[in-house]
Amino acid sequence: MAKRESQLYLIHGNNEAEVGNARFELVAKLLTPEERDAGLTEIRGPGNQPLTLQRALSEIIGELGTSSFISGSRRVVVVYDLQDFYAKRRAAKKRAASKTKKAKPKPAGDPVQAFADWVEEILPTTENIAVFVCNENDEKGKMVAAGSPLYDLIARHGQTIQRRDKPLNFELENHIFSLNTTAAVKVLREWIRRAGSDGSGRMKIYSTLSTQVEMLFQARCLDEARKRGVPETQVLDASSWPSLTKMPEWKSKKIRDLSRRYSMQEIRELIESANKLQRLMYPSGEEAYVANWEDFAEVLLIRLTA
């Protein structure tokens, strides 16, 4: 017997362009151009309000339970950024810690359970298909939770399609460690594009660059102390040297090796540049002119890797 076609799809990832391409390709596979006008429905949150399954359930089920106007054709419902797929890290850890415990029954009126019952009992009697599209944002901590009930439902009854790029902060760090200026600048420009006007994304860019400078300074101080015969235990303290004491040993070694390529004067200049970048990102409002922080971040990065 031929395997039944999936009627549930989840497309998710932090590469917004690739997520959009995957959605386009899937819809093109499921519906002909002639069928899309009558057979394609897209559901988004109202205005800037987040879309929840509680709010959208009746509309989703109503659309999926409706026959297409074109005889022999299906209906495809695309639901964007349903909040029930996203989970805070704390909640995800809590679920992982309680996996061994007996699962509690779902409360009456639980929308996920109601949708699961409908998917198992009613959806197979139709030819219709639901496609959930979720854009993730590493800077904002907006991630699809692989262990969430809704994710598990689609994994059991349909297909998940992931389009993720490696988080840019780790990629940028690797290029700094290898002194690859061209690759580092390319990643920084992409990160700035993704962050847009988001303040938290901007802060992560500054934090990554300034932390690199801080760690180089710490490592250089330890190297100078070693040369003078001062034991590291007298210099290194977890409260005042957090960057080096709270990281894996392999990473600490990379930073120490890298710090020997800089003179102390060069590191002092990098610290001054990092401080200037912060002032450009968050000006006091008293300045007559404020330079473009994006350009200066690029200059700081070139100084770090050149």
pLDDT at 95: 46
Contact predicate 22/132, CB 8 Å = no
Q: DSSP character for 131?
A: E
Average pLDDT, the chain: 83
Q: Where are the domains of the chain?
A: 8-162, 168-305
| Domain 168-305: CATH class, spelled out | mainly alpha
Cα distance between residue 64 and residue 162, in whole Å: 24
Q: Which two tokens stand for residue 104?
A: 């509690």
Does 301 have pLDDT greater than 70?
yes
Does 125 have pLDDT greater than 70?
yes
Query: Does the global pTM surpass 0.85?
Result: no
Domains 8-162 and 168-305 share a fold: no
pLDDT over 70 percentage in the chain = 82
Q: Which two tokens stand for residue 78?
A: 């695309």
Contact predicate 51/45, CB 8 Å = yes
Q: Between 246 and 239, whose confidence is greater?
A: 246
Side by side, the strands of the sheet bearing 129-135 are 40-43, 76-80, 129-135, 8-13, 159-162
CATH code that applies to domain 8-162: 3.40.50.300
Highest mean pLDDT: which of 198-207, 268-277, 278-287, 289-298?
A: 268-277
Contact predicate 302/207, CB 8 Å = no
Average pLDDT value for residue range 231-249:
66
Residue 117 corresponds to which amino acid? D
pLDDT at 245: 67
- pLDDT band for 268, please (50, 70, 90 cuts): very high
